[in-house]
Structures are given as C-alpha cells and as structure tokens.
Amino acid sequence: MFVGEAPGRDEDLKGEPFVGRAGQLLDKILAAMSMARAEVYIANVLKCRPPDNRDPLPEEMAECLPYLKEQIRIIRPKVLCALGRIAGQALLETKTPLGQLRKRWHEYEGVPLLVTYHPAALLRFPEYKKETWEDMQMVLAKLDELRSRAG
C-alpha cells in the first residue's frame, strides 16, 4: 500500500489518487518493480485537495487520519510505503525530517513502513530517482522476506 499526501488538481477532477504526472511516474516505478497499479492500494493522508496545493495543515490531517487508518485496517497491507515527508510524518506521528525517515524500516500498527520521496519531488529533482529506486528495492526485499516466512 502506497500513501501520499493529498489529491492534486488532476486527482480532484478524476476522483482517483495519483493520476497526474506524479501518478504516471508512480506507475513507471511500479512497472519497474514488476507490479501493476491493480496489485497495490494507493491512498492519501488528506482526502481532499488543500487550497493552492499548499501543505496540509495539522488540523486537516487530524480530520482525515481516521479514514486513512480505517483504509489500512481494511486493506491489511503486507508493507506500507509513505510517499514523501508529510505522509511519513503523519503515519509515524513525528516531525522527523524526510532524510532521517528514509533508508530504514519503521512500523505502523504491526505493518512494516518505509518512507521515500514523493513522485512529485522526483519530477522536480530527478537526482532523487536513484535513491528512490534503492528504497523500492528495500520494499521488494521486504515483500520477498514476508512471502518466504509465510510460505
């Protein structure tokens, strides 16, 4: 399960998460991982778009987090991947910077959680793509580990 920050303009118009340019990049990342969008669940911390695409306010996140928590409870993902600082901080209830959240596993209610760059950040800073791919390799390795334990 991948969790982003909030819907953007394209997502608001279509009513689906990650359908704009960042979503197209996420689809490419998934394809490189030999996954299809239909095999993963994609959600956002906020369920509606903040004005002027600003960062979500703490009170907005507090309003929406129960819905995200319920989505996670229902989906029961094997692994969570937080896309970006805001999603990672919201799920982990921390103010720790993205750089310190990345490259290591966390836990969210018993589910392994990895924080990586948001695809929109990769569009602005392509130099983060290599690090993001390393993060996705960690996700794949964790999924393999969990499958081997279960099987």
User: What pLDDT, on the 0 to 100 scale, is given for residue 40?
Assistant: 97
Of the candidate CATH numbers 3.30.450.20, 3.40.50.150, 3.40.50.300, 3.40.470.10, the domain formed by 2-144 belongs to 3.40.470.10
Residue 5 contacts residue 46 (beta carbons within 8 Å): yes
Question: Residue 118's Cα: distance from chain center in Å?
Answer: 7
Q: What are 48-88's pLDDT values in tens digits?
A: 888 888 889 999 999 999 999 999 999 999 999 999 999 99
Going from N- to C-terminal start, the domains of the chain cover 2-144
Question: What's the alpha-carbon Rg for the chain, to the nearest Å?
Answer: 15
User: What pLDDT, on the 0 to 100 scale, is given for residue 75?
Assistant: 97
User: What pLDDT, on the 0 to 100 scale, is given for residue 151?
Assistant: 72
Q: What are 85-129's pLDDT values in tens digits?
A: 999 999 999 999 999 999 999 999 999 999 999 999 999 999 999
Confidence check: pLDDT of 33 > 90: yes
